[in-house]
Every structure is written in structure tokens, then in C-alpha cells.
Copies of this chain bind each other. A is one copy, B any other.
């Protein structure tokens, strides 16, 4: 497992992903406000990892109430808990895992709120369990998805749907890892993923640590490498999958899906069930986060465009189900029509 996020001595420790690969620095969070800030500022990112951070952040928030004499008042505690959840879920609107994690923590809260001491323990245990569970889920996603990759394939991926985006191992990169563990010869092309460069900074770093062959390209070159026949599959993660299979993921994913379709390259989405949002009918209903202009007009304090520049900076886009070849989950690999396939997921129905 990667040191992405860890519950340690009553605090939440996160690897500061903004500084990779130049610096491996950890940030210690002692309350839920700090966790919310780190989610918003992308110290931690990637839908599954954000879910874990949210759970741990909520646990921290409740622990922070331990010296508050009013916590024995149920209405007061309910109100405080609601506030904590609101702070955590107000950070990033697109990834559904944030809300999924909050819902799970709410359940733990309801079941244990009459005993504050037990409540703290249970919330911490639930958050830690979600981290461990995510790792196991990724392994199952990898195991299921590796069937789609043949030895000799070069796989194009976007952003970082790797160990750094999850409890470790990764979704899209988990599939690649699993295929390689089966002895398949798989190479990777990573798009750098402007503006935040998760591909260049995180995916390349992660794969290089394990000697998985990876070539970095600018996002602009994706069409060119597909046209040259250099790519046999595209695989990406997901921030939210709607009931019809439309998928929100890092901005640029949609363009990759159009290009893959144009070149006859299969386009795969790898994501845990926690990224599936059956209550959202289709992609048009997924909120798309827009981020600050200075992510585009500055780079490490250097000006890349004049400060007064008008910028449109959506952080995600929607890939319609029609452009997706298969969705890989920990339960099984789903094929079109995705509305039916998603509705039939056993584990999802049970939850």
C-alpha cells in the first residue's frame, strides 16, 4: 500500500500530492477543517482517496467534540455532526465517493451516537476499514479488468487513477498492475493531464517506482499516438458513473473517448461500486466543478498567461456511455447496455 493517507495517533496524515514528484512531504491534519482544505486544494485527490479522506475527516471532526460538554445533548450532537459533514462534502462536487463516504459515516453515527466514547471508536474504525477495503476492492478491479488486456498491449491512461488516487493499488493502474502480475507485457503511455499534471507528476512517478515501462506525452499528442497505432487500449478511472453509464472523469477524458472510438481503440473505465451513482440518471445531471483560473494562468508561480485572462477551467467532463467499451468494477466487468448492467450489480443493490 502507498502512503497516500493514514490514520495515525489521532491525526490524519496525507502525502502532499501537490509536491510530487519533486518532494515527498506529509501533512498532519488534526481537525476536519484541515482535511476539508486539503481535499479542496488537492493535497489528496482521486475519487476513492477523497472518499477515504472524507471518512477520516468526519471521524476527526467528531473526536474534536470530545471536550464539548454539550455532546450529551442528542439534538446538539446531531447538529454538530451535520455541520462536520457539510464542511467535508462542500469541498469537491463531482466525485460521488465523497458523498458515499459521508453516507456510510452517517450510518455509523446514527447507530452509535448515544455513547460518545463508542461513537468515536466506531467512526475511526469505519474510516480505517474503508481505506483497507478500498485496497482490496482495487485488487478485485484489477483481477477482473486484466482480462481485457493482452500481452503486448500499450495502454494509454489519463490523469492518475493509481495507488495515489485510492487506498493503494489503483483502479485504472490497478488493472495494469494486475495484468503485469499475470506476466503480461503491458506498457503505458501517460497523458500529462493539464492543468494539474497528475499524469506527469503522479502516474509516471508511481509506475517508475515499480519499473512499469511508461512514456509521457502531452495531452495534445493522444490523437497522434492513436493514429500511429501505438495504443491498443485506453483505460481511465471515474469520479462518478451515472445510472446510464455516462461517466464523469478528469477533463480530457471525453476527448480521449472520442479519439479512441474514431481509431477503433477500446475505451475502458475502471472504478469501484462507490463511484456508481444510480440516483443520478445521466451525465447531464452530474455537477461539474470549475476550478480557479490561476491553475491555468500560473505554473509554480510563473505566469503562463496574463493575470487578467478570462479562463474556463472545468475540472471534469462527461464521457457518454455510448463511447465506453466496458466498465470494470470489483464485482464484474460490465458491458453495454450499461443501464441494465449497472442496475444488475448485486453488491450495489445490497447496500
Contacts and interface: CB of A to CB of B under 8 A. Distances in A.
A227 B214 CA distance: 31
Given A205-B306, A220-B219, A225 B312 contact: yes
Contact of A217 (B21, B215, B262, B311): B311
Contacts of A21: 303, 305-306
Nearest to A224: B317
Interface stretch (A27-35, A86-94, A193-201): A193-201
A308 B215 CA distance: 11
Nearest to A218: B194
A221 interface: yes
A250 B313 CA distance: 22
A300 B300 contact: yes
Contacts of A192: 194, 296, 304-305
Given A216-B309, A308-B208, A299 B302 contact: yes
Contacts of A217: 296, 311-313
A314 interface: yes
Interface stretch (A58-66, A102-110, A237-245, A251-259): A251-259
Given A200-B297, A200-B305, A299-B300, A223 B254 contact: yes
Contacts of A197: 304-305
Nearest to A208: B306
Nearest to A193: B220
Residue in A224, A227, A250 whose Cβ sees the most chain B Cβ within 10 Å: A224
A56 to B, nearest CB: 29
A222 interface: yes
A221 B314 contact: yes
A75 interface: no
A204 interface: yes
Nearest to A196: B218
A220 B255 contact: yes
Contacts of A200: 296-297, 304-305, 309
A298 to B, nearest CB: 10
9 contacts: A192-B296, A192-B305, A200-B297, A218-B251, A220-B250, A220-B251, A224-B255, A258-B262, A259-B259
Given A21-B305, A216-B305, A302-B302, 11 more contacts: A192-B304, A194-B194, A200-B305, A215-B312, A216-B297, A216-B309, A216-B311, A221-B314, A222-B255, A224-B255, A227-B317
